[in-house]
Amino acid sequence: MHENQTESKGRPYILGETTWNIVKETEYQVAILPWGATEAHNYHLPYATDNYQTDFVAAETARKAWERGAKTVVLPCVPFGVNTGQFDIKLDINMNPSTQTAVLKDVAASVYRAGIRKFLVMNGHGGNNFKQIIREVGTEFPEIVIFGTNWWQVADGKQFFDEPGDHAGELETSAMLHIVPEFVRPIDKAGDGSTNPFTVKAIREGKVWTQRQWSRATNDTGVGDPKMSTAEKGIKFIDRVSDDLADFLVEVSQTRIEDLYEK
């Protein structure tokens, strides 16, 4: 541990908590950008659910990696995501993919100027899709390798939950009961997360995709029943996810960019 870290209570791997004297002397190997959304999550979870979760998972992942010698830094969470299917849900804040591209370019430029060449975008919102954005941003910063992950897909939710759900269901509610239980309303206040499937067979079967209009596809903005949610399930799931992602951070921090492919 750097001696100056004893002067601050901030975690040195969380950029928003640490100070210039520490940052300027730390050779960070990997930067992590949590990216969430601001949107309704049934009647029992707050609008910032995706942000709370992604921030927490990023911090836990970085902590575990840091304790194993990987110099990681978690950037502040981007709180707005793609919500183009939710325009009529009051105060669901939309950020278009083109805007996300511009934001990621600017952040990547700052990461590059800091001398960091490995950059992980940690997504916490189903409406976000960073693959094509990472492809485009990567052409402007070929010296940086940009990775992407959806944290809730790192582990198999079916191993931890009776019915994981897709949005404000058992998985997300259990995670929130672990992370910020004070912001979770009693489960009996929640809707059942029932949905209204598409009438067209090929769309229902996943052979053809179209965006869901949230006010028509859902009855309470949730997808999945939260009634079986517990903090204990959330702890176990997030522990598995953060363990696996910490393994990645440790390995990638020790791997030179030129050695990412087998010879």
| pLDDT tens string 35-69 | 999 999 999 999 999 999 999 999 999 999 999 99
Domain residue spans in the chain? 3-259
Q: Taking all residues of the chain, what is their mean pLDDT, rounded to a whole number?
A: 96
Q: What pLDDT does residue 190 have?
A: 97
% of the chain beyond a pLDDT of 70: 97
CA distance 25 to 27: 7
Angle CA 81–109–1, to nearest 5:
95
DSSP string, 125-159: -TT---HHHHHHHHHH-TTSEEEEEEGGGSS-GGG
* pTM to 2 decimal places: 0.94
Q: What pLDDT does residue 9 have?
A: 79
Top pLDDT among 6 and 252 is at 252
Fold designation for 3-259: Rossmann fold (3.40.50)
Q: What are phi and psi of 12, to 5 degrees?
A: -70, -15
- pLDDT of residue 156 exceeding 80, the answer is yes
Q: What pLDDT does residue 154 have?
A: 98
Confidence of residue 93 (pLDDT cuts 50, 70, 90): very high
Query: Hey, how many other C-beta atoms are within 10 angstroms of the C-beta on 3?
Result: 8
Question: Which H helix or E strand runs over 251?
Answer: helix 231-253
Residue 221, token pair as written in the block: 């903005």
Tell me the angle at which helices 131-140 and 97-113 cross, rounded to the nearest 10 degrees. Answer: 40
Confidence of residue 142 (pLDDT cuts 50, 70, 90): very high
| pLDDT tens string 187-229 | 999 999 999 999 999 999 999 999 999 999 999 999 999 999 9
Q: What is the residue type of 149?
A: T
* Residue listed under structure tokens 């990547």: 108
CA distance 156 to 152: 8
Q: What pLDDT does residue 7 have?
A: 58
Q: What pLDDT does residue 1 have?
A: 47
- pLDDT of residue 6 exceeding 70, the answer is no
